[in-house]
């Protein structure tokens, strides 16, 4: 048995689970999530014990791999509809900023209008089920960089959207300008030193 897969997923209060053939739907206070799990796994919900049990149909290598994966993804679904997931991004650079206009995120990170073709800002549509909070230094009353908080009940969607924003301008290693995850370590490089000719 997979050490991860054999552990049941406990269901907190307010969470309901429905299993229909190879599809599982998890509902909770923050939303509902549906996923079609591999046919090498078998999922059953014990309503009385408030838990979901995952077993595998056979002992092949692929079944063993999918056993733990299925359990982890279902556990993430349960956590997502109860607690949710979040990613925080920081934008470093003079004049770099971002703003939210309804469901459109505008990110300005120093690219020229000529390079962009339609102005210097990047525009990203916020996916369904994702909430974005823009925290500017002025609003917080400090000098820290602008920050983005991305929240949602789908871990994959939250991570994917955060990665898309970060890829607009990854942090360069000389001055540290760009977009990075909160707490991300950026190894700085030393610039070229000027030496006098003799």
Lowest mean pLDDT among 60-64, 95-99, 127-131: 95-99
Q: Encode pLDDT of 176-192 as tens digits.
A: 888 999 888 887 887 66
Q: What is the pLDDT of residue 117?
A: 41
Q: Encode pLDDT of 86-98 as tens digits.
A: 999 999 888 888 8
As a whole number, the mean pLDDT across the chain is: 85
CA–CA gap between residue 92 and residue 50 (Å, rounded) = 46
> What value does the mean pLDDT take over residues 9-32?
93
Q: What is the pLDDT of residue 140?
A: 54
Q: How far is CA 170 from CA 159, 176, 186, in A?
A: 16, 9, 10
Confidence grade of residue 114 (pLDDT, cut at 50, 70, 90): very low
CA–CA gap between residue 177 and residue 171 (Å, rounded) = 5
- Give the range with max mean pLDDT: 95-104, 136-145, 149-158: 149-158
Higher pLDDT residue, 183 or 118? 183
């Amino acid at each position: 048995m997979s050490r991860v897969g054999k552990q049941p997923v406990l269901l907190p209060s307010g969470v309901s689970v429905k299993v229909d053939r190879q599809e599982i739907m998890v509902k909770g206070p923050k939303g509902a999530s549906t996923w079609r799990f591999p046919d090498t796994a078998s999922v059953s919900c014990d309503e009385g014990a408030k838990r979901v049990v995952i077993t595998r149909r056979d002992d092949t290598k692929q079944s063993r791999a999918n056993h733990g994966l299925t359990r982890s993804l279902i556990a993430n679904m349960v956590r997502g509809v109860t607690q949710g997931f979040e990613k925080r991004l920081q934008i470093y650079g003079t004049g770099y900023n971002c703003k939210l206009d309804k469901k459109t995120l505008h990110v300005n990170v120093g690219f020229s209008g000529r390079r962009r073709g339609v102005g210097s800002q990047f525009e990203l549509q916020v996916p369904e089920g994702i909430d974005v909070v823009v925290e500017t230094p002025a609003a917080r009353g400090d000098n820290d960089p602008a920050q983005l908080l991305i929240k949602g009940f789908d871990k994959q969607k939250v991570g994917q959207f955060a990665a898309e924003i970060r890829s607009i301008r990854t942090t360069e290693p000389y001055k540290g300008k760009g977009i990075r995850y909160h707490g991300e370590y950026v190894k700085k490089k030393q610039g070229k030193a000027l030496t006098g000719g003799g």
